Amino acid sequence: MLLRARIVYPVTAPPVEDGAVLVSQGCIAAVGRWCDLRREASGQVTDLGDAVLLPGLVNAHCHLDYTHLAGRLRPPRSFPDWIKSILAAKGEWTFSDFATSWLAGAAQLLAGGVTTVANIESVPELLADCRSATPLRVHSFLEMTGVRSGRNPAGILHDARRAIAGLDAGPGGFGLSPHAPYSTTPVLLRLTAEAAAAEGWRTTTHVAESEAEFEMFMYRRGAMYDWLEPQRPMDDCGLGSPVQHLERCGLLGPRHLAVHVNYLWHGDAARLARAGAHVVHCPKSHSYFGHRRFPRCELEEAGVTVCVGTDSLASTLPHRGALPQLSLLAELREMMALDATLDAATALKYATVHGARALGLEGQIGTVSEGAAADLIAIPFRGAPGEAAQAVVAHEGPVSAMILNGDVLRLPRGADAERAP
C-alpha cells in the first residue's frame, strides 16, 4: 500500500511536501517524495489529498475505565477530597459499568488519533474482553494499592502477576502500576521493582502529584497525612520528597513512567534523570486541580524525557459546556496555552516519539520512518510544510484517516484509492 499526502510529517525529521509512505506487512517500508516512491508501488495506492500524514499519537497515561465519570466530580477543595469522591463513585459501579466505560474511552482515543495507550487497569477481570475489542495498542499496567485493604504486599503482587500470565499481549504489552506512594507500602514498591526487573516489565506510578502528597512525605503534615494516618503506617514520611521515596524503594529506573511530578524538591529533577525515568504530564488534569506550574523546563534541563497523557475524564473540566472527551491533541493545546515557551513541533514530540521512548518502543512507533510500525493518522491540511505541526495540534474532532499496524481503520470520504499499474 502506498499513501500519498500533501505533507508527510515524520516528527523525527522535517516535513516532506507531496510526500508518500510505502507500507508493507504492517510496517513502513519507505518514506519520501511521491515522485520518488510512486514507482515502487505494487499494490493499492491511496491519495489522501490535502492532508498531513503523521505517526499515530502515543498516550502515555490513561484511565480508560473512568471515562463515564466525565462531569460527575467537581474540582475539590483538597486532593484527598477528590480521592474520596472517586472511590465513592467507583463503589457504585458494576463490572459492566467499568467495561462500557473502558470501551467508550478506547473509541474516543482512536477517533482523536491515538494508536497506542499506556492504560492503568483497576479491574483486571475485564482485560481479556476489553483488549480484544479494540485495535488500539494497549499497554496495560495493573494497578496495585493495599493501604485501604490492608492486604499482604506479596499477595497483591502475586495476584497482579497471575492476571498478566493469563492474558494475551496482542499488539500491546503489560506492566505494573503501584498506584502512588501514599496508597502503597514501601514493601510493595520494593517487591514490584524486583518483579518488574525479573520479568522485563515497565512500571508506572502517580508521584508528586499534589501539594498534599508532597507535604505528607516531606513534613509529616497536611490534609493527606491527617486523612491517612489512621489507615497506614506513616514511618515512611518525613524522610524526603515523594520522588526520593520512590528512589529509596528501588522503583526509579529507565523502565519507569513517573506520572504528574508537579512538586519537586531540590535535586529531584536530577534524581529522575540519573535513573533514566520518564515523566508523564497530564495538562488538563493539572488545570482541573489548579496545581502550580508544571516544571517542564527544570526536568528537561536535567535530561528527563517528558511525554503526555490524558489521565481520566474524572479530573477534566467540561469544554464549551459539553462533557469532555479523551483527546491527546486537546492536552497539547492546554499545555501550550499555559506555557508560552512551548512550540507545536516540540509538543508533538511529547505525544509521539517521547511516549514511544517511555514505553521502550522508540523507532517502532511514534515516527514515520523506515522499519517502524505502520501506525499513521491524517488530518486535513492545505498549508505550507512549516505550518504542519501547528495545524495538527490545533485540529479538533476525529482524524480523517487512520492506519494501525498496517490495517486501514479509516480513510477520508472521497479519498482516491486505486491499484498500482
Q: Which domains does the chain have, with CATH numbers?
A: 2-56+367-419 (2.30.40.10), 57-358 (3.20.20.140)
Q: What is the mean pLDDT of the chain?
A: 94
Q: Are 364 and 378 in contact (CB under 8 A)?
A: no
Q: Is the pTM of this model over 0.85?
A: yes
Element (H, E) at 157: helix 153-165
Q: Band of the pLDDT at 317, cuts 50, 70, 90?
A: confident
| Ramachandran assignment for 303, one of left (phi > 0), alpha (psi -120 to 50 degrees), beta (any other) | left
pLDDT (tens digit per residue) in 277-298: 999 999 999 999 999 999 999 9
**What per-residue confidence (pLDDT) applies to 163?**
92
Q: Band of the pLDDT at 420, cuts 50, 70, 90?
A: very low
Q: Are 304 and 278 in contact (CB under 8 A)?
A: yes
Least confident of 225-234, 279-288, 319-328, 340-349: 319-328
String of DSSP letters for 199-264: HT-EEEEEES-SHHHHHHHHHS-SHHHHHHTTTS--TTSSSS-HHHHHHHTT--STTEEEEE----
**What per-residue confidence (pLDDT) applies to 86?**
93
- Segment 140-166 mean pLDDT: 90
- Segment 127-153 mean pLDDT: 91
**What per-residue confidence (pLDDT) applies to 322?**
83
Give yes or no for residue 421 having a pLDDT over 70.
Answer: no
Interatomic CA distance for residues 99 and 126, integer angstroms? 6
Q: Band of the pLDDT at 333, cuts 50, 70, 90?
A: very high
- Segment 270-281 mean pLDDT: 98
**What per-residue confidence (pLDDT) applies to 414?**
66
String of DSSP letters for 75-136: PPSSHHHHHHHHHHHHHT--HHHHHHHHHHHHHHHHHTTEEEEEEEES-GGGHHHHHHT--S
Rounded to the nearest 5 percent, the helix, strand and coil shares of the chain are: 40, 25, 35
Picking from 14, 84, 86, 24, the residue whose alpha carbon sits closest to that of residue 54 is 14
Query: What percentage of residues in the chain have a pLDDT greater than 90?
Result: 88
Q: Are 59 and 116 in contact (CB under 8 A)?
A: yes
Least confident of 153-167, 235-249, 263-277: 153-167
